[in-house]
A = this chain, B = another copy of it.
Amino acid sequence: MTPKIAVDPVLVERYIMELARFGAVGESGVKRTVYSPEWVAATDQYARWCDEGGLQVRRDAVGNVWGRLDGSAPGGSIASGSHIDTQLPGGRYDGALGALAALIAIRTLKAQFGTPKRSLEAVAFCEEEGSRFPAANYWGSRAVTGRIAADEASTLRDYDGQSMEAVMRVVGLDPACIAQAVRHDIDTFVELHVEQGPVLEHAGLPVGIVTGITGLRHYLVEVTGEANHAGACPMDLRHDPMAGAAEMISGLLSTAENMGRPAVTTIGRMQVEPNYSAIIPHKVSFTIDARHPDPECLAELYSRHEQWLRVVADRRSLQLRWTVLAEHATCACDMDTVHLLEAVAREQGTACMLMHSGAGHDSQVMAHIAKMAMIFVQSRAGRSHTPEEFTSIEHAVMGINVLAAGMYRMAYL
């Protein structure tokens, strides 16, 4: 049995609300983009809290903040954390809760059990969202895992056209030193994060233990037919790409539905040319976002989608072209760590389920250098990337208790 761990709900709530003041937008929104004054202030606060908790504070070459509690024995550390940047605006919980959870778990463990055998680390990563530099997702965790290309800091541009290296210098970071952020001494990385979906709420559970992170492809599909007059061209003589696109979309969505959870397919974006009500379109373009956490099912999903597109285009004599805009492989969690987290949740009487993550996270990048697992806590109505996102303190504390107990088992026993 793991001893009882007493994470303080008052502290959890205070940290969440105080961190949310940096970049506050309206009642509950937060807009805190990497290397902005709000981000600098938030990382300063995070560093102060690490220091107050008795952790050694270090900022790495890209501005990730680390709080470390040295262990008495050698070996890689047990690390936890998440990102401190937000969407435009996001809410108080996405990212922030995981960064705080790590810090709170470690300070609680230190206060209760003193020095661990294995070193423990909390981290606040930067620019996971890509909300300032749209092509820089996972910037902080990519730096730590050596996945930033040599020219990236000079070529990446933010929405205002400023280069990454220029804005790094503004906050006192030297872009030439990025490679110094690389770590080779992390044994296990566990990220706590809000679910961002409705699965836990729907199942009536506070906590999920993640078994893997979804793989995905973004396709851009272009269906071309023949523009014509809406009144003068009979239905039977048309080559209408809208008719083809509608049939394609219905079939794509049904394919994912019929494959069953956790397959998901989304058509989120569409463009019609020329987009006039009285003209049969010349071209309809749309995106497909298709995801599955199992590599074989994912390949099957892609293949069924591509086949369906071809079937409809051929039958309707429409031109079809697609491009893969983005692709991420599936990422499996370390099952020993998953089972350990599940076991401590059960010990604590915290109802939980094994589930996958349908969204990407820093932990899938960290999986390149460490054993990786994740803990999800319930999101109200599955909302995220909006000021309305909400996770109750009760659920947050239950998740942090699982994290702390898991770290205890890994670092103290």
A interface residues, Cβ below 8 angstroms from B: 195-199, 202, 214, 216, 218, 228-237, 240, 242-243, 245-247, 249-250, 253, 256-257, 261-270, 272, 275-281, 284, 287, 289, 291, 325, 357-360, 382-385
Whether the Cβ atoms of A242 and B267 lie closer than 8 Å is yes
User: Hey, which chain B residues are within 8 Å of A243, CB to CB?
Assistant: 249-250, 253
Whether the Cβ atoms of B230 and A268 lie closer than 8 Å is yes
State how many angstroms separate the Cβ of A192 from the closest Cβ of chain B: 15
Whether the Cβ atoms of B234 and A264 lie closer than 8 Å is yes
State how many angstroms separate the Cβ of A400 from the closest Cβ of chain B: 21
Whether the Cβ atoms of A261 and B236 lie closer than 8 Å is yes
State how many angstroms separate the Cβ of A264 from the closest Cβ of chain B: 6
Q: A246-B246, A264-B234, A382-B237 are in contact. Are A228 and B197 (CB under 8 A)?
A: yes
User: Hey, which chain B residues are within 8 Å of A237, CB to CB?
Assistant: 198-199, 202, 382
Whether the Cβ atoms of A232 and B358 lie closer than 8 Å is yes
Chain B: which residue is nearest A383 at the CB level? B228
User: Hey, which chain B residues are within 8 Å of A242, CB to CB?
Assistant: 249, 253, 266-268, 270
User: Hey, which chain B residues are within 8 Å of A196, CB to CB?
Assistant: 229, 231-232
**In whole angstroms, how far apart are the Cα atoms of A276 and B131 in the complex?**
14
User: Hey, which chain B residues are within 8 Å of A276, CB to CB?
Assistant: 268-269
Whether the Cβ atoms of B289 and A230 lie closer than 8 Å is yes
State how many angstroms separate the Cβ of A182 from the closest Cβ of chain B: 28
Chain B: which residue is nearest A289 at the CB level? B230
Whether the Cβ atoms of B280 and A268 lie closer than 8 Å is yes
State how many angstroms separate the Cβ of A288 from the closest Cβ of chain B: 8
Whether the Cβ atoms of B250 and A246 lie closer than 8 Å is yes
Chain B: which residue is nearest A293 at the CB level? B231
9 nearest CB pairs, A to B: A197-B232, A231-B358, A277-B287, A230-B266, A246-B249, A196-B232, A232-B358, A231-B359, A230-B289
